Amino acid sequence: MSDKRDPIVFELFKNAIFSIADEMALTVFRTTYSGVLKDNMDYSTGFADADGKLVAQGLTLPGHLGSVPTAMQSIMRHYRDDMQPGDVFIMNDPFDGGMHLPDIFVFKPLYHEGKRLAFACTVCHHSDVGGRVAGSNASDSTEIYAEGLRIAPLKLYDRGTLNTTLMTIIEKNVRLPVQVFGDLRAQLAACYIAEKQFAELVAKYGPEQTAYYMNETIDYAERLTRAAIEGLPDGEWSFEDWIDDDGIDYGKPIRLFVTITKAGDQMRVDWTGTSPQVKGAINNTLSYTKAAAYTGVRSVLPQGIPNNEGVFRAIEVICPPGTVGNGVLPAACAARGLTGFRMVDCMFGALAMMLPEKVKAAGDGGNTGISIGGYHADRKPFVYVDFTCGAWGARPWADGLDGNSHMFANMASHSIEVTEAEHPIQLLAYEFVPDKAGAGKYRGGVPFRRDYRFLEAEGVLQVRSDRRDHRPFGLYGGSPGQPSENYFNPETEHRVLPGKFTMNVKSGDVFRHVLAGAGGWGDPLERDPAAVLRDVRNELLSPAKARFDYGVVIDTVRWMVDVAATEKHRAQIRLARAWREVPKVQRDDALPQAR
């Protein structure tokens, strides 16, 4: 047996533990049934020690950074002294360790010679868990009881014996039991893969050294995190942003307010001042609010710090109960993803004051949730769930990314071919939309639109989107991105739809969603004219918008920048800006007096 303090052995062990978490993630990806997992990849895997402390998280969703520790605390609170080899635990209750009902946790304690040494951890977004609307994530539900099947922390397996009563309850309360059971089996498969590989690790290092190195992996992450935070400037920074509404009280904005305090090697993220919880289903659970805070802080720390409980020890997160960031019963929370994504952008707003050269502007507002459900002619149900996002805010050194998932999600897009093969849906368009990215020295990411044509006789469409009234903010002179858009039958009725809604659809109906454009960074007049020309040539920007936003005049006959005209036009814009900044009384004095 190697010495516990051997740094080479520790590095090998640490990499092995994280490899197990990654192998679990690949197992879910390879064996799952639903598109929201195999295409969107809305799931996470992790590895915890015998006390439920997170040691490693797979390369999956940052949005789940705070979820496993909170869920494990609930499992330990209920079952710490009631665990045996062969047990498997399941839960999704947002008010007892969970996040929202579609996210189902499966945990398997791992033993060696009768002693518990670790836990294999998985959480997957299931495409339906019952409730009033197919997909179980409607933003216009008003209480948790309408959202689906609520599973308290329970034993799915007791000493290797399946809880058939619980499985029957699940089967009778979800629209797609075959798919839900298939996805649960994918989670179980990941846990069993972890069990096998962890046993090999224990055989190599021994149980005592394995436990020691798991604890050391957590302590190591804490040391790195505190050292990195120590190097950041001390101080306090606050930022405010607004969600358009909750889908129930239309036009009533919802405040997000964060204060980041940094002193020494510790940070505090305080959401006091955020709006009270709302009627609609966008209320966060505390674990998801923590994940948003951790993601924001991690984005300004060096790479290479392991994702585990050690990181969280250095970052205190406060959010008062009864707020939209920490809902209490009977708060609806199925669409809480919207609030979580927006909280990450709110973090960027505060961090940009702390570290102006390291933080990007607001992205498209987080993922838009689209669910389409109903029944085929033979009464067989179908549920399509899609989470879509794709525009990063501009960075202090480069443009925002186009067509790239929000930092909080790390999700992929559904395959159009698979979607059309598996659901009564046709994708008519999936393309970038010009003139919507926020202008700046570095522009925001360009958003895209999707057109969905419904092909079954009838169904229900549910949409959760935002960033219409309160556009994605720019930074340091950058312009905000253009708002999101929803249309019903855009080529015929062209009916404008609200940001959040549930409605009936019929065969041939088309829904169009246009993401919001991301915010820009820096003065647009400082943008390289060649970069403006490139965007015009790529049809991401019109010649008229290039002139209006950037003062760049494009010769569309020769497709080149008219340098002289550009310099003249930019000088005129700067003069007009300076004139506007002069106090009105001085402007009046400078004008010729009327005779």
- pLDDT by residue (tens digit) across 205-228? 999 999 999 999 999 999 999 999
CA distance 45 to 62: 11
Q: List pLDDT tens digits, range 561-585.
A: 999 999 999 999 999 998 887 776 5
CA distance 114 to 110: 9
- Per-residue pLDDT, averaged over 183-192, amounts to 97
Residue with tokens 């003062």: 551
Contacts of 557 (CB under 8 A, 6+ apart): none
Give the amino acid at 492.
T
CA distance 298 to 328: 28
Q: List pLDDT tens digits, range 381-390.
A: 999 999 988 8
CA distance 459 to 456: 7
pLDDT value at 2 more than 60: no
Instruction: For the chain, give every domain's residue range.
Output: 7-222, 360-527, 542-590
What pLDDT score was predicted for residue 238?
98
Nearest Cα residue to 124 out of 32, 218, 12: 32
Q: List pLDDT tens digits, range 96-145.
A: 999 999 999 999 999 999 999 999 999 999 999 999 999 998 999 999 99
CA distance 298 to 292: 10
- Per-residue pLDDT, averaged over 386-414, amounts to 90
The tokens for 551 are: 């003062």
Half-sphere exposure of 283 (CA within 13 A, CB side): 32
Pairing of strands 510-514, 235-243: unpaired
CA distance 56 to 306: 7
Residue 141, Ramachandran bin (φ over 0: left; ψ between -120 and 50: alpha; else beta): beta
Within 10 angstroms of residue 203's Cβ, the number of other Cβ atoms is 11
Regarding pTM above 0.85, the answer is yes
